């Protein structure tokens, strides 16, 4: 007799809350076991995944219950003498290539699989099971092949019609074109800007100067660079197989101007180009990398065991490269397992290929997308000077010449921010703000409910048109897509607002954390910082760098005042800003100011700590930056001499 292990899964939490799916699956599985009691022992095990989709293989990630079961199979806790019972094989996966690998792995371990919807039984000692698996594999391959062929033929026909009579290929078109009666029409104002861009570049202007002269917020340096290379401006369309078809789009730039601009860009880029390394030419090394990663080693430790020439970045690129499966170097299940672990540790899905900028600093910025310019609120870039010192630069200043923010050394803020954040009790801070968080969460749920109703209305209208034999209108489809995008965003906001139980502890050795070679640790901390810090802004005032940390709460924020003189970089003072009821408290190392509405500020002195004039002056200097009211700054200036008369 076999020990029965029943697997049940539903894809969404809405199904869990409404009781749909799981109840039906459990009753079907129980009925099957009762009916076949002579085949199975009385020890019944149920493996359940709630709100886990199989489409993107989330159900076989290490965190899922099926993923844990597969690990137990790998550890030989389950094997011969066990049976896995599912209502349908699609409970294991909806992706054929993955489902076959998962099924083969389970069957090869000696476990018998029962699919109760089709009465299929798969076992390793049954030749029919092997034939059935071959049929499933072949059918999946043929279906994929036919879909691919049909899609390519349909797209080819659309492109050829576009070349013949100007029909629109797709509504995803270049920004200088629009769809009028299913024909391409040129937006004359945008076309004029593009021609101006090429003429300026031909005259020797840099991309930054061109952006400044065009004076349009949508135009940035990267757009100019891409336009210079965009052959759609010549009317050409490049297909998936690199075939180029002419006259698909209206021609905007003449051949001579396009060629001249591209030759000039080639000259500029010559010194910046670097041939891409083919990291998969050594299958034995690739297999070794995956094996070492599965054993628990980090990328730094893996590099030490590889031939010379490998770096931690390239190891991570190999681990993230789907081609290892396509080239049959690594099996799908191993690839998915390793990548789920990397994702859980905060390693990016796409590892940058250009390692020429920072050869010995692999995660250059611990605050991506949250570090902003304090002057204009714009994004920043990390650059290196001639002696490889890392600088933070405002991109608005760099690309649009519209901000006066000074650049700062990155190392002067990273260590100081970490030292402050590691000493914050986020559990206490967020619990104090829980009431507001609950209100936000409730509002998001109300918004989600309204969006669900709107989505349902679109579905009903689309179904009505289909029943009446009418085509589905484009506005309806676009409206539905827009609503579904908003639903996804709202669900993500709800998820973020609900994740108070995942507070980071930041109990790391700061010296290890500052080591740029420790990619895994820095990636993990970078991910944890995003859970608690919403924004970091910086601004240079006089000889100081002011850095403000904005947390996901109104209860607390920090302002760090860092010495920016040559040889500096240490924190001179810091201000903690608390909001409680209707009062705001500005706390420095030697005193605190409490401000309630428009009342006169009250000063409190720290016990056994004399009032420090530097702390006082620095709070006054940074008053605008910490959003002090005019009444506060006026009070501080008025009482300055009185407070320090005896000092």
**Which pLDDT tens digit goes with each residue over 473-484?**
666 776 777 777
Neighbouring C-beta atoms of residue 410, cutoff 10 Å: 23
CA distance 248 to 236: 6
Neighbouring C-beta atoms of residue 254, cutoff 10 Å: 12
Residue 91 has pLDDT above 50, yes or no: yes
Q: Dihedral of CA 568/569/570/574: which sign?
A: positive
More confident call, 245 vs 410: 410
Angle between helices 96-108 and 127-165 (to 10 degrees): 170
Q: How far apart are the first and last CA of the chain?
A: 89
CA distance 327 to 242: 21
CA distance 86 to 84: 7
Percent of the chain with pLDDT over 70: 77
Residues 550-565: pLDDT tens digits? 887 766 788 899 999 8
Q: Dihedral of CA 136/140/141/145: which sign?
A: positive
pLDDT of residue 41: 93
Residue appearing with tokens 């700590």: 609
Which of 614, 414, 419, 626 minimizes the C-alpha distance to 539?
626
CA distance 177 to 191: 9
CA distance 139 to 152: 20
Instruction: State the pLDDT confidence band at 335, using cuts at 50, 70 and 90.
Output: very high
pLDDT of residue 130: 67
CA distance 349 to 319: 10
CA distance 556 to 433: 10
Report CA 453 to chain centroid distance, whole Å.
29
* Count of H-run helices and E-run strands, the chain: 23, 20
Phi and psi, residue 623, nearest 5°: -55, -45
Q: Which 8-state DSSP code applies to residue 645?
A: T
CA distance 390 to 365: 10
| pLDDT averaged over every residue in the chain | 79
pLDDT of residue 434: 53
More confident call, 326 vs 624: 326
Instruction: State the pLDDT confidence band at 236, using cuts at 50, 70 and 90.
Output: confident
Judge whether 370 and 551 are in contact, CB under 8 Å. no
Please tell me whether residue 19 adopts helix, strand or coil conformation. Answer: coil
Please tell me whether residue 105 adopts helix, strand or coil conformation. Answer: helix
Instruction: State the pLDDT confidence band at 501, using cuts at 50, 70 and 90.
Output: very low
CA distance 414 to 394: 17
Residue appearing with tokens 């970490």: 418
pLDDT of residue 79: 92
Q: Where are the beta strands (DSSP E) in 295-389?
A: 371-373, 380-384
Q: What b/e readout covers 482-512, taking b as 16+ CB neighbours within 10 angstroms?
A: ebeebbeebeebbeebeeeeebbebebeeee
Phi and psi, residue 587, nearest 5°: -110, 125
Q: How many CA atoms lie within 13 A of 181 on its CB side?
A: 2
Neighbouring C-beta atoms of residue 404, cutoff 10 Å: 11
154 contacts: CB under 8 Å, gap ≥ 6 = none
Phi and psi, residue 181, nearest 5°: 55, 40
Which of 618, 480, 510 minimizes the C-alpha distance to 561?
618
Residue 353 has pLDDT above 80, yes or no: no
280 contacts: CB under 8 Å, gap ≥ 6 = 286, 318, 321, 323, 324, 327, 329
pLDDT of residue 34: 92
Bridge partners (DSSP) of residue 186 are 177
Instruction: State the pLDDT confidence band at 10, using cuts at 50, 70 and 90.
Output: confident
Q: Dihedral of CA 291/294/295/300: which sign?
A: positive
Instruction: State the pLDDT confidence band at 117, using cuts at 50, 70 and 90.
Output: confident
Neighbouring C-beta atoms of residue 291, cutoff 10 Å: 14
Percent of the chain with pLDDT over 90: 16
Judge whether 337 and 107 are in contact, CB under 8 Å. no
pLDDT of residue 98: 41
Residue 288 has pLDDT above 90, yes or no: yes
Find the helix or strand (DSSP H, E) in which 336 lies. Answer: helix 332-344
């Amino acid at each position: 007799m076999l020990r029965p292990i029943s697997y049940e899964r539903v894809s969404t939490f809405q199904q869990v809350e409404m009781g749909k799916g799981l109840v039906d699956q459990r009753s079907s599985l129980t009925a099957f076991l009762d009916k076949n009691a002579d085949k199975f022992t009385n020890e019944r095990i149920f493996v359940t995944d709630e709100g886990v989709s199989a489409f993107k293989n989330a159900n076989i990630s290490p965190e899922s219950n099926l993923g844990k079961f597969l690990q137990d199979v790998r550890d030989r806790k389950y094997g011969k003498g066990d049976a896995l019972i599912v209502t349908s094989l699609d409970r294991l996966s909806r992706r054929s290539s993955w489902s076959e690998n998962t099924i083969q792995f389970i069957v090869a371990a000696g476990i018998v699989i029962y699919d109760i919807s089709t009465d299929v039984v798969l076992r390793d000692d049954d030749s029919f099971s092997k034939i059935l698996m071959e049929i499933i594999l072949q059918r999946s391959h043929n279906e994929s092949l036919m879909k691919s062929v049909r899609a390519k033929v349909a797209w080819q026909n659309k492109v050829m019609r576009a070349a013949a009579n100007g029909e629109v290929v797709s509504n995803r078109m270049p920004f200088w074109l629009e769809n009028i009666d299913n024909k391409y029409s040129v937006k004359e104002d945008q076309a004029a800007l593009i021609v101006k861009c090429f003429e300026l570049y031909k005259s020797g202007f840099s991309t930054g100067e061109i952006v400044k002269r065009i004076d349009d917020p949508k135009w940035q340096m990267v757009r100019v660079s891409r336009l210079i290379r965009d052959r759609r401006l010549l009317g050409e369309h490049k297909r998936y197989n690199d075939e180029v078809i002419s006259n698909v789009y209206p021609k905007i730039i003449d051949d001579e101007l396009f060629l001249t601009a591209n030759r000039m860009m080639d000259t500029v880029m010559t010194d910046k180009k670097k041939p891409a390394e083919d990291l998969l030419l050594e299958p034995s090394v690739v297999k070794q990398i995956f094996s070492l990663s599965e054993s628990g080693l980090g990328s730094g430790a893996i590099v030490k065991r590889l031939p010379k020439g490998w770096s931690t970045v390239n190891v991570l690129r190999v681990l993230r490269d789907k081609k290892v499966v396509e080239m049959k170097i690594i099996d799908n299940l191993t690839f998915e397992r390793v990548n789920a672990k990397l994702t859980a540790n905060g390693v990016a899905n796409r590892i940058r290929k250009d390692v020429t900028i920072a050869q010995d600093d692999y995660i250059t910025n611990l605050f991506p997308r949250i570090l902003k310019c304090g002057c204009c609120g714009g994004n920043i870039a990390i650059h290196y000077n001639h002696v490889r010192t890392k600088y933070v630069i405002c991109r608005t200043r760099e690309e649009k010449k519209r901000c006066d923010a000074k650049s700062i050394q990155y190392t002067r803020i990273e260590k100081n921010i970490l030292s402050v954040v590691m000493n914050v009790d986020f559990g206490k801070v967020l619990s104090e703000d829980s009431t507001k968080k609950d209100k936000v969460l409730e509002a998001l749920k109300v918004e989600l409910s309204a969006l669900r109703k709107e989505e349902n209305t679109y579905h009903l209208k689309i179904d009505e048109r289909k029943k009446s034999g009418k085509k589905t209108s484009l506005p309806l489809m676009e409206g539905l897509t827009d609503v579904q995008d908003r639903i996804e965003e709202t669900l993500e906001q709800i998820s973020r607002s609900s994740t108070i139980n995942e507070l980071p502890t930041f109990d790391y050795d700061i010296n290890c954390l500052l080591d740029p070679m420790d990619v895994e640790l820095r990636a993990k901390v970078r991910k944890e910082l995003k859970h608690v810090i919403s924004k970091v802004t910086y601004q240079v005032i006089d000889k100081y760098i002011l850095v403000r940390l904005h947390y996901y709460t109104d209860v607390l924020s920090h302002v760090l005042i860092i010495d920016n003189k040559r040889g500096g970089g240490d924190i001179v003072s810091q201000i903690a800003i608390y909001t409680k009821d209707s009062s705001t408290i500005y706390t420095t190392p030697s005193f605190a100011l409490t401000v309630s509405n428009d009342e006169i500020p009250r000063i409190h002195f720290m016990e056994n700590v004399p009032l420090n004039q530097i702390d006082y002056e620095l709070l006054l200097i940074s008053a605008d930056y910490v959003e002090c009211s005019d009444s506060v700054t006026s009070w501080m200036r008025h009482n300055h001499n009185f407070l320090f008369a005896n000092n």
